[in-house]
Amino acid sequence: MISTETGKKYEKLQQILKDMGSVVIGFSGGVDSTFLTYAAHQALGDRVLAVTAVSATLPGSEAADAKAMAKVIGVEHRLVHSTEFEDTEFIKNPPDRCYICKKIRFTSLVELAKAEGYQWVVDGGNVDDLGDYRPGMKALQELSDFVRSPMIEAGLAKADIRALSKEFGLQTWNKQSAACLASRIPYGVELTPHRLAQIDAAEAAVAPYIQGSLRVRYHGDVARIEVAVDEIPSILAHRQEIVRAIKDTGFTYVTLDLGGYEMGSLNDVINTDEEVK
CATH of the domain at 230: 3.30.300
182 and 57 in contact (C-beta within 8 Å)? yes
Do 205 and 138 reside in the same domain of the chain? no
Do 27 and 137 reside in the same domain of the chain? yes
- Report the pLDDT value the prediction gives residue 271, as an integer from 0 to 100: 47
Do 165 and 230 reside in the same domain of the chain? no
Q: Is 241 within a domain?
A: yes
Do 150 and 198 reside in the same domain of the chain? no
- At 273, is the pLDDT very low, low, confident or very high (cuts 50, 70, 90)? very low
Average pLDDT for the chain: 93
Segments forming the whole domain that contains residue 84: 4-174
pLDDT digits (tens, 9 = 90+) for 231-244: 999 999 999 999 99
CA-CA distance, 33 to 36, in Å (whole number)? 5
Do 26 and 139 reside in the same domain of the chain? yes
Q: Is 179 within a domain?
A: no
C-alpha triplet 36, 158, 144: angle, nearest 5°: 55
Number of domains present in the structure of the chain: 2
Q: Is 33 within a domain?
A: yes
- At 272, is the pLDDT very low, low, confident or very high (cuts 50, 70, 90)? very low
pLDDT digits (tens, 9 = 90+) for 205-218: 999 999 989 999 99
pLDDT digits (tens, 9 = 90+) for 13-40: 999 999 999 999 999 999 999 999 999 9
pLDDT digits (tens, 9 = 90+) for 51-76: 999 999 998 888 889 999 999 999 99
- Distance spanning both ends of the chain, measured CA to CA: 45
Lowest mean per-residue pLDDT among 40-54, 136-150, 195-209? 136-150
Domain boundary (121, 142, 174) is at 174
Whether 101 is catalytic is: no
Three-state SS string across 85-151, please? HHCHHHHHCCCCHHHHHHHHHHHHHHHHHHHHCCCEEECCCCHHHHHCCCCHHHHHHHCCCCEECHH
Do 70 and 8 reside in the same domain of the chain? yes
Do 143 and 215 reside in the same domain of the chain? no
pLDDT at position 178 over 90 = no
- At 132, is the pLDDT very low, low, confident or very high (cuts 50, 70, 90)? low
Do 99 and 50 reside in the same domain of the chain? yes
Q: Which of 180, 216, 242, 266 is catalytic?
A: 180
Do 139 and 255 reside in the same domain of the chain? no
